[in-house]
Amino acid sequence: MTVTVFTNPNNPQCEATEQELSKLGVRYVAVDLTQNPSTFEQIKDAGFKQIPVVISPNSSWSGHRPDLIRQLAQSIAA
């Protein structure tokens, strides 16, 4: 399962999300939006209003969401 996290360096919510994913053993690919301006525009155009944005095959969300991170980790472990 591919999980992608669109982040911004030095953003506390992004850092917390990445730490939580790692702690729960969720493998992910981080995309630095400051290095990918066109991707940042696509994220905004898709309606996401805050970072980080987490995309997995079965769900997507924005912001630091420990509840959804746990659900994602549980679905991967199942």
pLDDT at 77: 80
pTM passes above 0.75:
yes
pLDDT at 63: 97
Residue spans per domain, the chain: 6-10+16-77
What Cα–Cα distance (Å) separates residue 43 from each residue in 14, 16, 68, 73, 77?
15, 20, 19, 23, 28
Q: What does the pLDDT profile of the chain (78 residues) look like in tens digits?
A: 799 999 999 999 999 999 999 999 999 999 999 999 999 999 999 999 999 999 999 999 999 999 999 999 999 887
Fold of 6-10+16-77: Glutaredoxin (3.40.30)
pLDDT at 78: 72
